[in-house]
Structure 1
Amino acid sequence: MKKLFSLLLAVLMLLAVLMLSACLVGCVQSGNTPGNNSETTPGGDPGTTPGEPAGGVAQELTVCTGPDPETIDPALNSSVDGAIMLSNAFSGLYQWHTNEDGTQTIIADCAQEVVKPTQLDDGTYQYVITLKEGLKWSDGTELKASDFTYSWNRAVDPNTLSDYQYIFDVIAGYSDTTPELAIEADDAARTITIVTSALCPYFDQLMAFPTYFPVRKDIVEANPDDWTFSADTYVSNGAFKMAEWTVGDKIVFVRNENYWNAANVKLDKLTFALSSDDDAIFANFENGTYQYTTTVPISQIPVLKNDPNRMNVDFFIGDYSGTYFLQFNVEQSFKPGIGNVSDDPAAWTDWTPAQNAEVRHALGLLIDRNYIVDSITQGGQLPAYGFVPAGMDDGTGTEFRAKAEKWWSVDPADKEANVAEALDILKKYYTFDEATGTFTDFPVFEYSVNPTSGNIAMCAAIQDMWDDYGITVSVDQRDWAVIQTALSNGDFTMSRLGWIADYIDPITFLEIYVAASGNNHPRLGKDGAVGSAAVYGNGSQTWNEAYEQLITTIKTSSDMQARADAMYQAEKALMDTYAVIPIYYYTNPYLAKTNVKDFLYSPLGFVYFRTAYIEG
């Protein structure tokens, strides 16, 4: 079965044409040595002052987190690599912090303190957050409370086209069409008043999330399309400010002397090398050109894991709260005998969205997830049997996956049973040649993938698994930024994707499939068009009406058990469409030189270098 994959993987390993993995945002693991990279707070100087080398070493760090980002506008970014850059250039009201025992928590950033909400008479909750005194933008101008409220209103404005518009829906007055957020700035008092519709268990994490970062109105509105591309206009408020962006080569940041905690920023220069070739990235790490990388070629992972001089020395496999999955454009029909999948109305004649979902289910059953994690990724990933990843609490003290349904078995002993179930489904609709064991009229469809070592190997393996049964997949290989645009436009049939938690709560994996979400790439419930899950229904409601009712319950309920019950129902509603086919739950292999100290890895996968330094 794995003949095609085996050949391709051998070629990949021999030629090392291996490129960077990219996914959409979030996850967990701190620093260089687990438990040894707590963030420096004021007064916690590691032995050097800005501009002075530690032990004679220049405080300049070069990292590689991916190629040119699609955007580094806080309102528009939706990728981890872009978020890492944003998290070093901007500061939110709150920030992630690593405690001495290695645990992570939220502390104040631009705010004076992390505040508790007050319940109002109407059952809503009010937060009054006061900014620190003397906050400034990187160009030295005053940073005001109204800069935050302007930025949030801009992000929810439908004209901004933010993929993350929906992440403000915990704030009263949110609407995806006519939002009027219940937020108010008092610049004289330096306060921001926020009213939420219900008690939000992850509110503090949102205040540290990049979409909630401030941008400056005069800068953005003077050059709305291009302000992020030039150091002259990329005005920020974080530990570093942009000095240079050479497309295809590097983005250089330097220490921001106007950052509120500049006295504890040790690095003078932070360079993001831009590359999607993970073989070249690895070579540059090995020769010392790069000191930190978020990608490791899959051919190197077993070598590094088994080398005691590398594993947990400069190579790490961190926890990562995310899911790698395949997603289908539900507008594309898999009707038998049409040659190629199609969204043409004729392709839906005598063929229903429910039948399409059954076919996607069967395709998922034919994938051997244990083979993928054991023989391809090899980084401790777990085979996936639902969309929300393992390790997340449902808010009641119960691990979500322990209670949630399983949509197929990942027990290796059940592999043949999964295949038998898949074939039973497909034989209802497609012609099966018993002599060859293949289907003869299954339509050809495209598999869109950004070219990385892991993605290419995964694509080849899955192609092989389906090809054994006469299911032909053509590969649509495009760069990561191009793939992101294509997904947003619905320009795909099936694509790989990774989703990493935006905050530590299962709803971060479920809310992305509301109709208004820019991250709802399968187009579930969008437009009510033929093939859309909007037409599945439950008799009295369309699919998206029922789904969004569940999401609303989750977002507005202060009863944690009722909220958890709605999350289980929402995942079932999503998975029953089989528009998403989870493959595995992420881990995070990364490389960090031993002399790079005190960087912080947040529970969302964002790496902060605001307190990092190079040890001499």
Structure 2
Amino acid sequence: MKKNRILATTAGILAASLLLAGCAGSGGGAPEGSGGAGNPEAIVTTNGTEPENILIPTMTNEVGGGKILDLINATLVYYDVDGAVQNELAESITPNEDASEWTIKIKPGQKFSDDTEIKADNFIKAWNYGANPKNGHLSGYFFEPIEGYSADEGKDVPELSGLQKVDEHTFTVKLKEPTSDFGLRLGYSAFAPLPDVAFDDLEAYGNAPLASGPYMLAKDGWEHNVKVDLVPNPNYEGPRTPKNGGISIVFYATQDAAYNDLLANNLDVLDALPDSAFGTYEDELAGRSVNQPSAVFQSVTIPNIDHFTGEEGKLRRQAISMAINREEVTDVVFSGTRTPASDFTSPVIDGWSDSLPGNEVLKFNPEKAKELWAEADKISPWSGTLEIGYNSDGGHQAWVEAVTNQLSNNLGIEAKGKPYAAFKELRQEVNDRSIKNAFRTGWQADYPGLYNFLAPLYATGAGSNDTDYSNLEFDKLLAEGAKATSVDEANKHFEQAQTILLEDLPSIPLWYSNVVGGWSESVSNVKFGWNSVPVYYEITKN
């Protein structure tokens, strides 16, 4: 499952690549007449989930930890509400002619929350540590374009040869090959700096990290499995200045419980409403809700378990995909707040297409599904129950039950949901490869580009590649797209790469998610960004 600046570029192509297609909009907003400065000391409460890992940027690839990291960390650039790139810690980010080397200048005088200055070394050390295969960080893959990166598991690569310090506030990044959208990626939390003290004891630091962003942890701010309390960081001088007295992120066991608190004005902002409220929330929240497209993709993933390897596995995944009536689920369960998927990305991203060759595998065709399942049975007769794992704290039960009922009816098998109490528990089994059933997966874009939906999830060795999927032709097309000198050229390669995914189905696309959220009577100036996340620093409390 989970963010950039105006770049100093040498070509118009590069500048154009940093803008999101404008269909996401600025979202929510406050009810008419409810604006105003509010109380700058008041704490805003919102929902969240217990982070899977300690709060180290490169160790986090899920939304529970990502939400916190995006608030306490600044990056070189950030993405505004519409997905446009804006400078944050960077003074300038300048590529050479073919975008194979980038010069990054940091604004002098910016500080961590302990008063130490943020310098080039803080980026270089953090990126080197996160990229070192020996450290096994989940987001290490994001440093793959940099010269010297190695994907060899366990190999000790303490320094990336492509990172070179120029002076206290300047460093260069030499890439293995031209990468036109590298600057666009630098707003992702994995690229955040770390203070020197972090490396004294990374475990201790990750439980009580310093801040470079608009917020910092309150004293004893992380109460595990309960909440995280954040307060404004007085040393932050960037553009995301808080207009409130802090953010309290409460970890709810269910979305229904969070929604009930929202209705009672005991919770200020809820970023995902439960499906049980889809038919009533517009009336119940009376103008305090949003339903808008976002860069979020949902799927079902099946690991390499019995009956799901080789040609048999490919046939069964295709059969499952065609046995799912996505239109019915999005209409009945989600009341039109989801859109059936026609690819592996998102309609709000520039370059998206709903007419990729091979995407008929995502269309409901129960007759063909039965044929494919029968072909797979000739290889090895099916036995057992098909289970889809889901986290109960994420509001997934209704759609999982609907989908498993469809699979049972259309394939003539027994299928059912397998609930996990918390997202963290599900992801632990996925990450340690102990999971023995299908499971729900989702992806919230890190930055507004097609590449971000493809490389982290399906490239060989990628940190969020949940099934260790590997296809060398797919990898080659990704690489060709990454080094293209225009967005249109890059997207053509990414389209070709998706045709391979549509055949192999390393995950089974389900639907694109709208952000369907709401807020209480106690807050104003609520906006939801291109990636479905509320713009927390803009929220004011009455």
User: Is the TM-score greater than 0.5?
Assistant: yes
Question: Rg larger in 1 or in 2?
Answer: 1
Partner residue of 2:388 out of 430, 439, 447: 447
Distance verdict in 2 for CA 1:264–1:361, change over 3 Å: closer
Structure 1 match to 2:438: 494
Structure 2 match to 1:90: 73
Indicate yes or no: 2:524 matched with 1:582: no
CA offset at residue 405 of structure 1? 3.9
Corresponding letter in the other structure for 1:266: K
- Matches of 1:30 and 1:82, distance apart in 2: 24
Partner residue of 2:87 out of 108, 115, 128: 108
Indicate yes or no: 2:8 matched with 1:33: no
SS in 1 for 2:384: coil
* Contact 2:102/2:172 (<8 A) preserved: yes
Indicate yes or no: 2:302 matched with 1:324: no
- Matches of 1:318 and 1:153, distance apart in 2: 38
Identity in percent: 18
CA offset at residue 406 of structure 1? 1.5
* Contact 1:106/1:204 (<8 A) preserved: no
* Contact 1:393/1:400 (<8 A) preserved: no
RMSD, aligned α-carbons: 2.9
User: What is the number of equivalent residue pairs in this alignment?
Assistant: 510
Distance verdict in 2 for CA 1:402–1:573, change over 3 Å: closer
Structure 2 match to 1:299: 276
Distance verdict in 2 for CA 1:82–1:441, change over 3 Å: closer
CA offset at residue 501 of structure 1? 1.9
- Matches of 1:565 and 1:112, distance apart in 2: 32
- Matches of 2:460 and 2:416, distance apart in 1: 29
Distance verdict in 2 for CA 1:281–1:474, change over 3 Å: same
SS in 2 for 1:266: coil
Structure 2 match to 1:248: 225
- Matches of 1:36 and 1:117, distance apart in 2: 44
- Matches of 2:123 and 2:326, distance apart in 1: 44
Structure 2 match to 1:532: none
* Contact 1:295/1:590 (<8 A) preserved: yes
CA offset at residue 470 of structure 1? 3.1
Distance verdict in 2 for CA 1:143–1:126, change over 3 Å: same
- Matches of 1:427 and 1:33, distance apart in 2: 52
Q: Counterparts of 1:562-577 in structure 2 under 5 Å?
A: 562-577=489-504
Q: Counterparts of 1:439-518 in structure 2 under 5 Å?
A: 441-452=382-393, 454-468=395-409, 469-478=411-420, 479-492=422-435, 493-511=437-455, 512-518=457-463
- Matches of 2:489 and 2:246, distance apart in 1: 49
Flag structure 2 segments of 5+ consecutive residues without an equivalent.
4-19
CA offset at residue 172 of structure 1? 3.4
Structure 2 match to 1:60: 43
Structure 2 match to 1:420: 367
Which moves more between the two structures, 495-504 or 192-201? Answer: 192-201
Distance verdict in 2 for CA 1:407–1:153, change over 3 Å: farther
SS in 2 for 1:279: helix
Structure 1 match to 2:327: 370
SS in 1 for 2:377: coil
Distance verdict in 2 for CA 1:76–1:608, change over 3 Å: farther
Structure 1 match to 2:256: 279
* Contact 2:163/2:174 (<8 A) preserved: yes
Corresponding letter in the other structure for 1:167: F
- If the length of structure 1 is used for normalisation, what is the TM-score? 0.76
Partner residue of 2:354 out of 401, 404, 418: 401
SS in 2 for 1:426: helix
- Matches of 2:125 and 2:527, distance apart in 1: 29
Deviations 1:47-69 (A, max 9, x none): 76xxxxx3x67422111133455
* Contact 2:240/2:537 (<8 A) preserved: no
CA offset at residue 361 of structure 1? 0.7
CA offset at residue 382 of structure 1? 1.0
Partner residue of 1:389 out of 346, 356, 363: 346
Flag structure 1 segments of 5+ consecutive residues without an equivalent.
1-23, 38-45, 49-53, 335-340, 342-351, 432-438, 526-543
Corresponding letter in the other structure for 1:419: P
Distance verdict in 2 for CA 1:125–1:497, change over 3 Å: same
Deviations 1:525-558 (A, max 9, x none): 3xxxxxxxxxxxxxxxxxx222222222122232
Distance verdict in 2 for CA 1:171–1:608, change over 3 Å: farther
Structure 2 match to 1:267: 244
Distance verdict in 2 for CA 1:570–1:270, change over 3 Å: same
- Matches of 2:265 and 2:28, distance apart in 1: 16
* Contact 2:180/2:482 (<8 A) preserved: no
Indicate yes or no: 2:468 matched with 1:523: yes
* Contact 1:379/1:587 (<8 A) preserved: no
Distance verdict in 2 for CA 1:471–1:57, change over 3 Å: same
Distance verdict in 2 for CA 1:375–1:33, change over 3 Å: same
* Contact 2:49/2:251 (<8 A) preserved: yes
SS in 2 for 1:276: coil
Distance verdict in 2 for CA 1:59–1:185, change over 3 Å: farther
Which moves more between the two structures, 589-598 or 504-513? Answer: 589-598
- Matches of 1:280 and 1:208, distance apart in 2: 33
SS in 2 for 1:88: helix
Deviations 1:7-39 (A, max 9, x none): xxxxxxxxxxxxxxxxx12795546428999xx
CA offset at residue 600 of structure 1? 5.5
Distance verdict in 2 for CA 1:167–1:440, change over 3 Å: closer
Partner residue of 1:180 out of 135, 160, 163: 160
CA offset at residue 202 of structure 1? 3.2
* Contact 2:256/2:274 (<8 A) preserved: yes
- Matches of 1:328 and 1:200, distance apart in 2: 32
